Every structure is written in C-alpha cells, then in structure tokens.
A and B are shown apart, each in its own frame.
Chain A
Amino acid sequence: MRSRTSGLGLLLISPAMLLLAIFFFTPALLTGVFSFTNMSSSTGISGGAYVVTPNLLKALSARGMQPATIEALEEASYSVDADGLAAARAADVDPAFLDEIEARYAGRAYATDSDFLAALKDLPSRPRRIRDLKLAMEPFTKSVLNVRFATEELARTAIAERVAGISDDEMATLLSESYTGWVWTTENFGKLFAGHETWRIIANTIFYVATTLTLFNVTLGLFLAVTTFYLPKKLGAIFTVIWLLPRITPVVLYAIMWKWFTWDDGFVAVLAGELGLPSFNYMKGSVTSAWTIVIMVNGFIGASFGMILFSGALRSIPIQQLWASEVDGATRWQQVRYIILPQLRWPILFVTSYQTLSLLTSYQEIWLTTNGGPGSTTTVWALESFRTALFNYSGSLQYGLGAAMALLLVAVGLMLSIIYLRLFRFGELVTQPKIEF
C-alpha cells in the first residue's frame, strides 16, 4: 500500500535531517574517502605544493636520475640580469636600491644565498628590514630549489626553464615526487593487515568486548536488577543510585578516581601492602591486573545500563505470577529461573546487541586510564584508531590510516546492526501511520 507523503512530516523531520547530513553523513563520507589516501600531518589535509628539495634530489640521484639534471636543479644561483631587474621592479623593490644593484652588480652571478646577501648589504640604500632585503633578492633567483610551487604548471615551467631539454620521464618523476600533498592509495588496508600487531589489537578488542559484556553489562546488570527488585524499596534504591554514579560522573574525574584507587600509592596498593599481598601499580603493573581494571572501569559504567533496562522489564511482570508461584512453594531461585529470566529474554538480547556496539567504539575510559598499556596489551581498535589519526606523542597524525581503521570499525558495526535489526523484527517498529493526510 502506497500512501501520500506528509508535507508536515517533511517539515518536522527536516531540522534533524539537516543536522545529521552536515555533522554525521558528511563526516562519515569524508572518513570513507580519507581511508583511501595517505593523508597525514606531513601531507596536510587541504592539498599540497611542488617543492624540489636537496633531500629529494639525493634520493632521485640514488635512483638513477641523470647527474646533469640533478646538478642543474641543485644549483642555487642568483644572477643580476635584465629579466631579474624587470621582475624586481614589478615586485615593488625600492627603485633607488635597484639602480644601485644595476650599477654595481649588473651581469654578475652568485652561487649562494649568503654571497648575494653579503653583496647587497654593501649597498648604501639597502632596506633596513632583513625581510625587505630578502624580498629584493627573490626576483633574481634562478633556482627552483626549495621553492614552493602552488600548481603543477608553475613547477613544470620553472623546472623546464632550469633544466633545458629535460626528458618527459624525468619531468614526470620530478613532479610526482616533489608533490607534498596527499595522494590516493589503497595501501592503508594492506598496511593494517601486514603486521601481527593488528591481529593482537583485534584479539584485545574481542576479549575486551566479550568479557566486559558478559561479566558486567549483562550478568552484573541482571544481578543488580533482580536483587534490588527483591530488596525493600529504600534499600534497593540506595544500590541503584550507587551503581548509577559511574555513569553520571564526568569521565575525566571518573578515570582519575580509578587511577588514584589503583596506582602506586593508591588505595589498593596500600591496602594490599598492609595485608601482605604484592603492592604495586595495579593499573599498569601487570597485564592481568591492567585488564581487570580496564574491564572494571568500563563494566562499572556498563552495568547500570542493564540494571535500568532489566529493572523496567521486571516491574512489568504481572505480580500475580510471582505470588502464584510462591503459593506453589517455589523458592526465590526457582522464581528467578523459571519466571523472571524467560521474560527477560528480549531485554537481555537488546542489552547484548546494543552494548556490543557501544563497547566496540568506546575508547575514552581506556585512553584516560591505562592508555592501552602496559605495552599495547590493553589497546583496543577504537583507541588505536584515535591515536593513529588524532593523538600521539610524536605528533605524526596519520589521518588516512586512522580513517581506514575507523572505516573497518564502521563496517563491523554496520554488519552487527543489520543482524540485530533482523533479530528485533524491525518491521514491527515501522508500522504504517493510521491517519492519512
């Protein structure tokens, strides 16, 4: 059955669609695009230029470029000729100064910057500012070395002028190698799977998600919901509040509280010391303790999600069923096992699926506590992707590679979402509107 589009509906949904398009779809699309580039903090994001540098020439020479070409390009010379003077005049260099240059140095050539600079400094009407002096030098340069050409055409012209009769091959090599911006590549994905480091991070991620999910988000959530359900109302409420604290505490503070709790001189270490147990930095002191803490840090937040959801579902179970079972002499355990759990099947499935996705993409808590250490033992995929693309000590941000990592995460998330949508009989959620106009 096909029905008429509601104009009001379009109007009401449009702000949402606009914001989502700008801040969700566009960035997501860009991420997809970036993952096929070698973009990094050295290539920049918005494009590059063409620069022939001494190091580049060294590398090209090692790769067999003609020595004559290399030599011609290497030469950093200035010559005072008619062209240069005209160009300088056009560039608004002080005419009096130019006249002196012409009078004293016409026809001369200088091999290096400092030679020419020294020569110019001798002139009486030289500009006072060093910058102006350097600007006056520029029009006389014949060198392409270390000059940033904004476009390929400019670079081509300059190189051709410098190296007469350069072969097309060499020109092409020079242009492509001297480009400083990013280029398209499909290598990111290959790079990712070339190292066994990647597989460890994948294994870490699976371990982290599975353990946190089963131990905390589901089991503990369930335990909390059921116990607070049976406890007297006031007492139950106290525990509910306690377990909601981690969720509402700002993450910066929450992370530091755990650090304080588990670090060298922290509560756990001191307590362990007094009890005669090994006292060390539990957060980073051993792989087992680091994992335990990472899982607890996230699990303590995650447990409340299940708790709230399950509590809601528990309250909707008809109380008569429970009374009836008690009349029949069922124990609490039997009640939980045969009446409550079966009714919680859907909420449990929902928590499992929803929290799998949240855990897969969570990194803040790990970043602010163990930061993936010791070594990279507690590094998970989302954290690694964040650090690769946006945040690392040496400041070499690899946007392209990071985006590729993110894209893989998105792909996994999409696949899981589709499976879950099937599980939850998505069709039921989109029943047709009952009023048409």
Chain B
Amino acid sequence: MTRNFSIWPVVLILLLISAPIVIMYSYLALGTVTTTEPGDLLPSKLALDNWRFLFDTSTAAGNIWIATLNTFVFAASIMVIVLTVSATGGYAMSRLNLPFRRFVLSGIMVMHAFPSVTLIIGVFLVLQFTGLYDTMIGVILVKASLMLPFGIWIMKGFYDAVPWEIEMAGVQDGASRFTVWRRLILPQVRAGLVALGLFAFLDGWGEYVLPRILAPTNDFRVLSIVLELVGNPDRTNYDFDLFKTVGVFYTLPVLVIFVFFQHRLMDIFGGGTKG
C-alpha cells in the first residue's frame, strides 16, 4: 500500500489514548523493584526485597507456591471441562439432528450474555443440595458451567466452517459418525480448541468472585484471593509494594501465555464475556 498519509500523527494519538495503560503497567512493573515515597512521581530507591515472598512464607502472602499450584489446578480443571463439553456439544449443535435444536441454540445464545450475578443465590442452594458448597470442585463446576454457553457457541462456529465434504467422504468410506468426528473433524477445529482452551484457562486463572463467595473458608486458596488479602489496606502490615509484586507475579503467567499464543487467542474472534 502507498503511504498517502503521515504515520506520526496517528501514532501520537494512539500513544496519548494508551497513556493511562502504559503508565499504570510501567509503574506496576517498576513498583516491584523500587520504592516510591507517597506524593512523589518517581521512585526513590531500588528495593528488590519486594520479591522475598517467593521464598519467605512469613509475609502476608503466605506460601505463594501452594496458592500458585492451586490456581493452576483450578484453571486447568476448568479448561478441561469446558473443552471436552464444548467440543462434543458444539459438534452436536452444528452437525447433528436434535429435537428443539433451534430452541436450544437460541437458549444458548441468550445464556451467553446471562448475568451470572443473578444466579449466585440459586447456585448456592444447588451446591448446598449437592454437598458441594465450600468445596473447590463445586466452584470449578460452577465456573465451567457458566462458561459453557460461550464455549459451545464458539465451537459451533468452528464446526460450521468445516466443509461437509470431509464428513461425506468419511461416511462414504463406512466410518461411523463418531469416528468421523474423532478422526476427521476434530483435527479441523484444532485452532478453535486451542483458542477456547487458552481462553478458559485465562478466565479461570483470573476468577475472583466465585471462590470468594462459594468457598469462603476452603483451604484451597487461589491467587486472586491471596492478592485481595495482601491488598487489604486495613491490615497493620499493609504493604502496597508487596501487593504490586504479588500482582505482577500473578499476572506473569497470563502475560507469557498471551505473548506466545496471541494469534491463537485472536482466533476466538472477540473472545470474552467481560464488558
């Protein structure tokens, strides 16, 4: 393409509107290794000891590695449930004859944007009834279920894009419909599975409200809860720099995943239930 416009004004405008993000994140990163006096703009001294929580369990953050492992297990379980259930459900919705298919599909579309806050009391009762209240399994199931409409919807979109010819060919060769799905179709939607899996993992990693409300006293403590607790200014040993550092530690895996799989994530075409 020809350059019939000057690039700098555009970059300048972009920089200007991106300034809050750039400033916030640079200060976040800076705050983990320096100390800034209140009321100053620039940090005054280097302070690496903000990171001591990594091996010192006596800080407000407690044992960070257990929390990290917990968060990983939490996010990975959600990812596995969302992936398997969406992969099968999405295929059924896309390619197979089901009663009330139209109705179910529009229902899923509606649920896609359903206010989950409105469900929490009901969810609580269901968990209590099934004995899953205050357990992490309960929270995982709830979180995964709340993501399902989105997952099924996305997977259906990917299946829709697979040419029918592949299936026709498989069926004509005498394979069962299930084998066709497993052997021929699933590889075709790999991009979708990767994107959805990443997305589910990231969403699980960042989840905060559900563990807090549905498993308030559980030993299985995830990083979002640890972060909230470190960030509570009512504590006598409240330390904002420690909070920032734990925050960066919490976000690092997300950033790494993001940098490496950025294009994969883009595949999900919008990805997200956040406002």
The short answer to whether A and B are in direct contact, CB under 8 Å, is: yes
The verdict on A72 contacting chain B, using a C-beta distance below 8 Å, is: no
Bound-state CA distance A386–B81 (Å) is 27
Find residues 261-284 in chain A having any chain B CB closer than 8 Å to their own CB. 261, 265, 267, 270-271, 274
The verdict on A385 contacting chain B, using a C-beta distance below 8 Å, is: yes
Closest B residue to A308 by CB, please name it.
B270
- Choose from B2, B7, B130 the contact partner of A326 (Cβ within 8 Å): B2
Closest B residue to A383 by CB, please name it.
B117
Contacts of B208 in A (CB 8 A): 250-252, 364
Most buried by A among B18, B202, B259: B18
A27–B119 touching, CB < 8 Å: yes
- Choose from A250, A357, A385 the contact partner of B118 (Cβ within 8 Å): A385
B24–A257 touching, CB < 8 Å: yes
Contacts of A235 in B (CB 8 A): 11
Bound-state CA distance A406–B116 (Å) is 10
Contacts of B113 in A (CB 8 A): 354, 357-358, 361, 413, 417
The verdict on A369 contacting chain B, using a C-beta distance below 8 Å, is: no
When A5-B97, A6-B96 are in contact, do A247 and B247 touch as well, CB less than 8 Å? no
The verdict on A389 contacting chain B, using a C-beta distance below 8 Å, is: yes
When A9-B98, A300-B21 are in contact, do A361 and B4 touch as well, CB less than 8 Å? no
Contacts of A62 in B (CB 8 A): none
Bound-state CA distance A390–B118 (Å) is 10
The verdict on A426 contacting chain B, using a C-beta distance below 8 Å, is: yes
Q: Which of B38-46, B47-55, B56-64 contacts A (4 or more CB under 8 A)?
A: B38-46
Distance to closest chain A CB from B95 (angstroms):
5
Find residues 112-153 in chain B having any chain A CB closer than 8 Å to their own CB. 113-123, 125-126, 130, 141-142, 144-146, 148-149, 152
Contacts of B121 in A (CB 8 A): 27, 30-31, 34, 45, 389-390, 399, 402-403
B102–A15 touching, CB < 8 Å: no
Bound-state CA distance A360–B118 (Å) is 12
Distance to closest chain B CB from A343 (angstroms):
16
Bound-state CA distance A240–B250 (Å) is 22
Bound-state CA distance A362–B125 (Å) is 23
B18–A390 touching, CB < 8 Å: no
B231–A252 touching, CB < 8 Å: yes
Contacts of A121 in B (CB 8 A): none
A409–B118 touching, CB < 8 Å: yes
- Choose from A29, A252, A298 the contact partner of B122 (Cβ within 8 Å): A29
The verdict on B174 contacting chain A, using a C-beta distance below 8 Å, is: no
A322–B1 touching, CB < 8 Å: yes
A243–B18 touching, CB < 8 Å: yes
Contacts of B239 in A (CB 8 A): none
Contacts of B25 in A (CB 8 A): 245, 257
The verdict on A338 contacting chain B, using a C-beta distance below 8 Å, is: no
Closest B residue to A269 by CB, please name it.
B39
Bound-state CA distance A13–B94 (Å) is 11
Most buried by A among B38, B84, B96, B231: B96
Bound-state CA distance A288–B81 (Å) is 44
Contacts of B81 in A (CB 8 A): 19
The verdict on A24 contacting chain B, using a C-beta distance below 8 Å, is: yes
- Choose from A6, A305, A360 the contact partner of B272 (Cβ within 8 Å): A305
Contacts of B152 in A (CB 8 A): 16
Distance to closest chain B CB from A382 (angstroms):
6
What bracket does the count of chain A residues touching chain B fall in? Answer: 35 or more
Most buried by A among B13, B24, B149: B24
B97–A9 touching, CB < 8 Å: yes
Closest A residue to B23 by CB, please name it.
A267
Bound-state CA distance A409–B275 (Å) is 16
Bound-state CA distance A386–B113 (Å) is 17
The verdict on B236 contacting chain A, using a C-beta distance below 8 Å, is: no
Contacts of A253 in B (CB 8 A): 28, 227, 247, 250-251
Closest A residue to B152 by CB, please name it.
A16
- Choose from B23, B98, B259 the contact partner of A13 (Cβ within 8 Å): B98
Contacts of B72 in A (CB 8 A): none
Bound-state CA distance A98–B231 (Å) is 59
Contacts of A27 in B (CB 8 A): 119-123, 125-126
Distance to closest chain A CB from B110 (angstroms):
4
- Choose from B102, B141, B270 the contact partner of A19 (Cβ within 8 Å): B141
Bound-state CA distance A413–B122 (Å) is 18
B224–A250 touching, CB < 8 Å: yes
B247–A256 touching, CB < 8 Å: yes
Q: Mark B188-213, 1 if CB is under 8 A from A, else 0.
A: 00000000000000100110110001
Bound-state CA distance A231–B11 (Å) is 8
Contacts of B242 in A (CB 8 A): none
Distance to closest chain A CB from B186 (angstroms):
12
The verdict on A379 contacting chain B, using a C-beta distance below 8 Å, is: no
Bound-state CA distance A351–B255 (Å) is 25
A9–B269 touching, CB < 8 Å: no
The verdict on B109 contacting chain A, using a C-beta distance below 8 Å, is: yes
Find residues 211-235 in chain A having any chain B CB closer than 8 Å to their own CB. 212, 217, 220, 224, 227, 230-232, 235
The verdict on A158 contacting chain B, using a C-beta distance below 8 Å, is: no
The verdict on B262 contacting chain A, using a C-beta distance below 8 Å, is: yes
When A19-B148, A435-B168, A436-B97 are in contact, do A361 and B111 touch as well, CB less than 8 Å? no
A12–B254 touching, CB < 8 Å: no
A360–B115 touching, CB < 8 Å: yes
Distance to closest chain B CB from A431 (angstroms):
9
A-B contact pairs, 7 of them (CB 8 A): A3-B97, A5-B98, A6-B92, A16-B89, A245-B21, A253-B28, A270-B40
Residues of A at under 8 Å CB distance from B?
A: 3-6, 8-10, 12-13, 15-17, 19-20, 22-24, 26-31, 34, 45, 212, 217, 220, 224, 227, 230-232, 235, 239-253, 256-258, 260-261, 265, 267, 270-271, 274, 296, 298, 300-302, 304-305, 308-309, 311-312, 322-323, 326, 331-332, 351, 354-355, 357-365, 382, 385-386, 389-390, 399, 402-403, 406-407, 409-410, 413-414, 417-418, 421, 426, 429-430, 432-437
A-B contacts besides A24-B148, A249-B251, A300-B20, 16 pairs, CB < 8 Å: A9-B97, A9-B98, A12-B96, A19-B145, A22-B141, A23-B146, A45-B121, A243-B21, A244-B262, A247-B272, A256-B243, A351-B270, A385-B117, A402-B121, A426-B109, A435-B167
Q: List 6 tightest A-B contacts by C-beta distance, closest first.
A: A27-B122, A9-B96, A406-B118, A361-B115, A357-B113, A16-B89
